[in-house]
Amino acid sequence: MDGLTLAKICDVECQKRGISKAQFYKDIGLSAPSFHGWKNGSKPSQKYVDAIEEYFGINLADYEKSDVREGLRDDLRILLNSARDLPPSSVYTLVAQIEKMKEDAT
């Protein structure tokens, strides 16, 4: 599992359970910089993957991606669900269009 997906799962699970990030880091022996590294593309070690599964009582292999999107606004969830089956080239085109829309709005 890539670091960004794992970080999002941890964010959602901590929020669901009312666990602070500081407590989460302490409980599994993780540093904040390592966690933020996952969000920036670092791959988590299996040690942390196993610790997270045990900590939250989840099986990451079975964790549905929709669970990661649970904390999103409804409109963003609809957008992600709509784009799910697009080929990567189409997703990149869509992202470019969204970036252009953001520029035009400012």
What pLDDT tens digit does each residue of the chain (106 aa) get?
Answer: 788 788 888 988 898 899 999 999 999 999 999 999 998 889 999 999 999 999 999 888 766 554 555 566 667 767 777 787 888 888 888 888 988 998 888 7
pLDDT of residue 18: 93
Largest CA distance in the chain: 46
Helix (H), strand (E) counts: the chain: 7, 0
Digit-coded pLDDT (tens) for 47-71: 999 999 999 998 887 665 545 555 6
Place of tokens 């997703």: 91
Distance (Å) of CA 90 to CA 11, 29, 74, 98: 28, 40, 22, 12
User: Residues 20, 66: contact at Cβ < 8 Å?
Assistant: no
Virtual torsion, Cα 36, 38, 41, 47, nearest 10 deg? 150
CA angle 9, 14, 18 (to 5 degrees): 155
User: Residues 55, 28: contact at Cβ < 8 Å?
Assistant: yes
* Predicted TM-score of the model (pTM): 0.59
